[in-house]
Amino acid sequence: MAVPKRKMSRSNTRHRRAQWKATTPQLVPVTIDGTTYRVPQRLVRAYQRGLLRPED
């Protein structure tokens, strides 16, 4: 595991953390059993294979 060699200032730590932005996932329409659902793009294959079940 990477370990910092020097102590980082509180200001720099908070500034770095502030750069992270959460984004909503890109939803894609998928047809399962004749019903169209909107699911995240990275999970489309799992829904098509039946590994995940869509919630109504």
The pair of structure tokens assigned to 50 is 């039946």
Nearest to 28 by CA among 14, 45, 50, 11: 45
Parse the chain into domains and list their residue ranges. 26-56
Long-range contacts of 34-43, Cβ-Cβ distance < 8 Å, separation of 24 or more: none
pLDDT the model gives residue 15: 80
pLDDT the model gives residue 47: 92
Model confidence at 56, pLDDT cuts 50, 70, 90, reads low
pTM for the structure as a whole: 0.56
The answer to whether 40 and 25 have CB atoms below 8 angstroms apart is: yes
pLDDT, one tens digit per residue, over 7-50 is 888 888 778 776 778 888 899 999 988 999 999 999 999 999 99
pLDDT the model gives residue 28: 94
pLDDT the model gives residue 13: 78
